[in-house]
Amino acid sequence: MTQQGAVLQGYNNELVKCIEDLCMQKEELNKQIQQAEEEKNKLQHEIQVLSGQLECVCENLAQKVASRNELDKILAETEAAYMKILDSSRTLLNVLKKEVGSLKHTPEPKTN
C-alpha cells in the first residue's frame, strides 16, 4: 500500500505542477491581452484624431477648390471683357487711320 501511496503522491505532484504551469500560462496570456487592448485603445484614439484632422483638411480643401473655381470664372470673364476692349480698340484705330488717311487725300482749299 505504501508503494501505491507513493505513486499517487507522484501523480499528485505532477498534477499540481501541470496546474501551476497552466496558471503561469494564463497569467502570461492575460498580460498579452492587456497589452493588446492598450494598443487597440491607443490606435483607436489615433484614428479618431486623424479622422478629425482629415475632416478639417477636406473642408479646407473644398473651400480652396471653390475659391479657385470662382477665381477661374472671374478670370475667364475678365479675359473675355479684355478681348472685347482690344477688339474695340483695334476697330477704333482702323477707323481713325482711315479718317486720317482720307484727310491727307483731301485737297486743301485754294486761297487767292
Dump pLDDT digits (tens) for 86-102: 999 999 999 999 988 88
Cα separation, 94 vs 85, in Å, equals 14
Is pLDDT at 110 greater than 80 in this prediction?
A: no
C-alpha cell at 2: 505504501
Q: What are phi and psi of 77, to 5 degrees?
A: -65, -40
Cα separations in angstroms, 43 against 34, 36, 39, 102, 112: 14, 10, 6, 86, 108
Rounded to two decimals, the pTM is: 0.58
Cα separation, 20 vs 26, in Å, equals 10
Mean pLDDT of 1-27: 93
Residue 59, by phi and psi: left (phi above 0), alpha (psi -120 to 50) or beta?
A: alpha
Is pLDDT at 28 greater than 70 in this prediction?
A: yes
